[in-house]
Structure 1
Amino acid sequence: MRAGADNGAAPVAEGGRSTRARVLLGLVRPVFRRHWLRLVVGFLALVTVDFLQLIIPRFVKTAVDGLGAGTATQPLLLRVSGAICLVAIIVAVLRFVWRYLIIGFSRILEKTLRDRLFNHVLRMDQPFFERWTTGDLMAHSSNDLGVIQMACGMGLVAAIDALVMSTAAVGFMLAISVKLTLIALLPMPLLIVCTRVLSGRLHHRFNLVQEQFSLLTEFARATLVAIRLIKAYTLERFQEDRFRALGEQYVKSNLRVAAVQGLLFPISTLVGNAGMLLLLYYGGIEVIEGRISIGAFVAFVSYLYMLIWPMMAIGWVANLVQRGLTSLARIHRLLVEEPMAVHTPTLALPQTTTVYRCRDLTFTYPAGSGPALEGVSLDIEPGLLGVSGRTGSGKSTLCKLLLRLYPVPDETLFFRGVDVNRLDPGELRAAIAYVGQEPVLFAGTIAANIALGRPDAAMAEIEAAARAAAIDDEIRGFTGGYQAVIGERGIKLSGGQRQRLALARALLCDRPMLVIDDALSAIDVATEQQVLAAILAAIRGKTVLIVSHRINVLRRCDRIVLLDAGRIVARGTHRDLLVDPFYRAMADKQESHA
């Protein structure tokens, strides 16, 4: 389906189907080990229920034989009825026990896998999110985990129940009549062959269903995120048609799965009923000829009736197992992904003047056709560094590499004198506050959005950061002030307000380095200068890299770097760069429109 998925799937496929299943089951084995006592007690209760149910036909046999021979008495019938009632009560209690323990375990397993999945996604870097869509990840954490929960809950119960019931029922049937048992089980090979053939088809079809669910989920998510754009371009009908087409494909794939499932259950029932038909004919002859009693015949029929459920369960369990393994394989493909930005432990970082150093840094995006940065050498020191250049010149790429969102070659990027490939990317990012081109806000309060990087910040600190970002007055104008809810992705705010809110969040973090990637583009010049003055006051002794095309911003920088086609083509102060044709043209154009 995608490069990352294929790479993850390869190790699972090696060594055949048994190796594949063993690798996949390794995902859930630790949870089984951790909760083994819960499972043992639950399955003991389940097995006890099965054996108690198998005793009931013996009681019925005693009563029927007594009635047939004329030796039954009222006390005998009362004792048999009382025994059956007592067994029924015990069965009811034990059924609650095994359901609570085993089904509860399946929910614990689902939660454990979901937590692992979520934590794994959080530690991945940018290339991972370019290979996996949000729809993929949502499908894994909903549909796939639900299928695994079902397979490890009711599927496991049905498998154990069917095994115990079928083995015990056949044993009791053999005790009554070996001949009738063999006759009743004659249709069983048909069920085994059909289950094997249909299970293979089910695996492929269910995998397709899950992939189409991912596409459907991703399309719905993208539509909701871009709802204002869709309405602005009157694309509602177009989106409806596309969503309907995806839905129809999803339904068709589900119907193909249902066709296989629909065959498994009737075939199982047919095999069981065929055995019952043979028993009624040949067993009836045995009773007529006096080789078995009527009570034994009734008990035999009861045991065969109990055997029909395991026969049906074979198809159901096979269905759940195939779906569960398919979903486990999908989750395995995700979990075997590793961040490309790896590290090896190193000593404590030395305190050097130069924060970042690029040495002949060349970088190409995983799916890129050419380098986005080429031969970049740059020292980033305390103070305000401006970065500018034409669209697509590599400015945002440089910011992303400083944040370690992508891997870089060894010995090309250094943080405080240490190769970044020897550092923990998480610890490095903790030293940098970042404000991107597209501010990311959440559907919570304004205060919670500002305090995202410092959840324990006092309200006074939050307000101070908002004042530094020149948005405090506007926040107080909202109903509810700092407790106002801004909606999904900050939909209630203007573009400039979103940018300044994201900037306030970065200032509140108070980290040694601040990276601002063209994040002042949506505010007016007067507000921009107010914000810039607050930034300069707040970051004394710190390092700030600001990407901008605005001369009013760049002229206040200590140094400026110009990029073109991924290379540094000029560097210096505002005055120094006025000799550069591109920079001069940009300055003249902006000053003429001032």
Structure 2
Amino acid sequence: MKELRHLNKYLYKYKGHLFMGTLFVILSNIFAIVPAQMVRHALNLVLDALNVYPLFDGGQLQDSFRSDFYMTILFYGLLIVAMAFLRGVFLFFMRQTIIVMSRLIEYDLKNDVFKHYQSLPLSFYRRNNTGDLMARISEDVSKVRMYLGPAIMYGINLTVSCILIIGYMLTVNVKLTLWALAPLPLLSVSIYYVNNLINKRSEAIQKSLSGMSTFVQEAFSGIRVIKAFVREKDSAGLFDDAANDYTDKQLSLAKVNALFYPLMLVLIGLSTILTVYVGGIEVIRGSITPGNIAEFIMYVNMLTWPVTSLGWVTSIVQRAAASQKRINEFLHTENEIVSISNLEEPIKGKVAFEDVTLVYPDSGIEAVKKVSFEINEGETLAILGTTGSGKSTIANLLCRMYDPTDGRVLIDGRDIKLFDINHIRNKMGYVPQDVFLFSDSIRNNIAFGKDDATEEEIIQAAKDADLWNNISMFDKGLETVLGERGITLSGGQKQRTSIARALIRKPTVLILDDCLSAVDTKTENAILNNLQGIMENRTSVIISHRVSSAKLADRILVLDQGEVVETGTHAELMEKQGAYKELYEKQVSTGTEAE
């Protein structure tokens, strides 16, 4: 139960639901016990009447006796129906409090987990895959809800039932009580083991289904590749294997499920037989009445489900504890990216790196090493380099997705760690190298960059990104809904949509991380010309492997294997006869050959 202690704060929050649910459980059990006592009285009355009735045969009181007898039995019958109705009402309220409480806690827990996920740094997402994150917020939280709802409800019901029913049975006849209840512990243990088998096979089915779903998703997402390589038959064969594996596991579960009810009925039947046999002996001895036998049979049936649920509840608690342990692993993961002073002062845009080194915590790779540079307010810096040289790492450090292992990143002369993280990121317009678009309209994808974006701002951002002409060609214009990850757009259109999303923020610092790699030279020139006016009086960082993207920059930084190898203007770097000139001449030569 140690892992489940985390849930106590939620139980305290909804203590009113828990208290009322417990009260309704007690009331429902009281109205279950009373009818059994009425059945005892009614049965004893019938037996006594059968013995007395012949004495009135042919007498004047016979009709009166029969009429009174019928009315009494009818009265008992109506009372039993009324008690059953009241019990049903309180059972309804029991579920409306405890089960509703579990749903409310499930809602709160999912929100808390999701909120915590969003607060964690990028290094957390590099260590954990998306499927595992989703499983913990859906599958694991659902298993925890089963503990908060059914397990607590049936646990309370078991406790109350045993105290009230067994306590009363013992006052009637101890020997009969012990014999009547003897098979029930065996029933609980048997159900526990059967339920464990069911759980293990159910989990195997879930894994099989998850694997099959992943396979289908990949097959549909990569359908163009499958068709291009004519692999439809192979894909269908793999799916057939996965479906057969899923079917085999389902049949295995069905065989175990088949044991559940027969096992329960056999042990309940054994308990009933013992009650009748031992009860009959006690009736002969005169210690109880025949009505007590019927009463005890009803009590045994009342206890059957609570006792049966003990094994089921135990299994649920074990699964919930395992799931909560997985959830707690992430909830206890702390975010190392925190603000020291939460400064929210206006940012002018001066940026400086002082001997910055970053070793990625998840992989141990040294991405940049002792990088130093300075960008004055309103200047544009181009960062060039080959793949893996550390260009995107600089963008991540500027947005404070990571903190340097050594050195400092300064904004307006102050350590970036002093500023409120959201305040810093709100002043950044970041266009990542890996473009991500939501399955939503183009309008909403662009407006995502600004909460209160107007129609004019959306259109202007699209024009500045050289996207408006493409949007105008779509039948629904800005309302065109994109497919998953923007699959309905070309690579260049996706990049320009991402640029528009950053431009609509009107950021103090604009970071373009190799965001023009998927557009042709003509479109690149059009976008850069549009950006020239936008970048005026705005600090800008253009990260690229293309030399052509650096033509608007005031200064150029060349990286190689995480280190700064050259820095200066275009003219200065051409005179140095170094890495920049070699890269420039190679790309210009390649472009000339292509023409």
* TM-score normalized by the length of structure 1: 0.88
Amino acid at match of 1:427: H
CA offset digits 1:134-192 (Å, max 9, x no partner): 11122223222222222222222211112212222212211221111122233455456
The question of 1:87 aligning with 2:83 is answered yes
Larger radius of gyration: 2
- How far the C-alpha of 1:231 sits from its partner, in A, is 4.2
Deviates more, 1:98-107 or 1:457-466: 98-107
In structure 1, what is the Cα distance between the partners aligned to 2:425 and 2:73?
79
- How far the C-alpha of 1:457 sits from its partner, in A, is 0.7
User: In 2 relative to 1, CA 36–478 (structure 1 residues): closer, same or farther, beyond 3 Å?
Assistant: same
Q: How does 1:492-503 map to 2 (within 5 A)?
A: 492-503=488-499
Amino acid at match of 2:432: G
1:585 matched to which residue of 2?
Answer: 582
User: In 2 relative to 1, CA 463–562 (structure 1 residues): closer, same or farther, beyond 3 Å?
Assistant: same
**Could you tell me whether the CA contact under 8 Å between 1:135 and 1:214 is conserved in 2?**
no
- How far the C-alpha of 1:348 sits from its partner, in A, is 5.0
Give secondary structure in 1 for the equivalent of 2:452: coil
- How far the C-alpha of 1:435 sits from its partner, in A, is 0.7
2:5 matched to which residue of 1?
Answer: 25
In structure 1, what is the Cα distance between the partners aligned to 2:544 and 2:411?
23
- Aligned identity (percent) is 33
Q: What 5-or-longer segments of structure 2 have no aligned partner? A: 53-67
Amino acid at match of 1:588: E
Amino acid at match of 1:376: V
User: In 2 relative to 1, CA 300–152 (structure 1 residues): closer, same or farther, beyond 3 Å?
Assistant: same
**Could you tell me whether the CA contact under 8 Å between 2:192 and 2:312 is conserved in 1?**
no
CA offset digits 1:318-371 (Å, max 9, x no partner): 22222222222221122112223233225555866632x222211122343541
Q: How does 1:11-410 map to 2 (within 5 A)?
A: 21-26=1-6, 28-70=7-49, 73-188=69-184, 190=186, 224-236=220-232, 271-347=267-343, 349=345, 354-355=350-351, 357-368=352-363, 370-381=365-376, 382-409=378-405
- How far the C-alpha of 1:551 sits from its partner, in A, is 2.6
Q: How many residues align?
A: 572
**Could you tell me whether the CA contact under 8 Å between 1:447 and 1:483 is conserved in 2?**
yes
User: In 2 relative to 1, CA 334–590 (structure 1 residues): closer, same or farther, beyond 3 Å?
Assistant: same
In structure 2, what is the Cα distance between the partners aligned to 1:519 and 1:297?
83
In structure 1, what is the Cα distance between the partners aligned to 2:354 and 2:233?
52
In structure 2, what is the Cα distance between the partners aligned to 1:169 and 1:84?
17
Deviates more, 1:527-536 or 1:210-219: 210-219
* TM-score normalized by the length of structure 2: 0.88
**Could you tell me whether the CA contact under 8 Å between 2:439 and 2:481 is conserved in 1?**
yes
User: In 2 relative to 1, CA 190–98 (structure 1 residues): closer, same or farther, beyond 3 Å?
Assistant: closer
In structure 1, what is the Cα distance between the partners aligned to 2:182 and 2:11?
37
In structure 2, what is the Cα distance between the partners aligned to 1:262 and 1:358?
68
Give secondary structure in 2 for the equivalent of 1:33: helix
CA offset digits 1:518-551 (Å, max 9, x no partner): 1011112222112112112012211111112323
How much is the aligned-residue C-alpha RMSD, in angstroms?
2.9
**Could you tell me whether the CA contact under 8 Å between 1:349 and 1:416 is conserved in 2?**
no
- How far the C-alpha of 1:399 sits from its partner, in A, is 1.4
In structure 1, what is the Cα distance between the partners aligned to 2:469 and 2:176?
89
User: In 2 relative to 1, CA 58–370 (structure 1 residues): closer, same or farther, beyond 3 Å?
Assistant: closer
- How far the C-alpha of 1:421 sits from its partner, in A, is 3.4
Amino acid at match of 2:579: F
- How far the C-alpha of 1:479 sits from its partner, in A, is 0.4
The question of 1:481 aligning with 2:477 is answered yes
In structure 2, what is the Cα distance between the partners aligned to 1:289 and 1:88?
33
- How far the C-alpha of 1:314 sits from its partner, in A, is 1.1
Deviates more, 1:73-82 or 1:581-590: 581-590
1:8 matched to which residue of 2?
Answer: none
Deviates more, 1:82-91 or 1:459-468: 82-91
In structure 2, what is the Cα distance between the partners aligned to 1:125 and 1:223?
31
Deviates more, 1:138-147 or 1:432-441: 138-147
**Could you tell me whether the CA contact under 8 Å between 1:219 and 1:243 is conserved in 2?**
yes
User: In 2 relative to 1, CA 233–399 (structure 1 residues): closer, same or farther, beyond 3 Å?
Assistant: farther
In structure 2, what is the Cα distance between the partners aligned to 1:575 and 1:137?
50
1:10 matched to which residue of 2?
Answer: none
- How far the C-alpha of 1:25 sits from its partner, in A, is 2.8
Amino acid at match of 1:53: A
Amino acid at match of 1:40: F
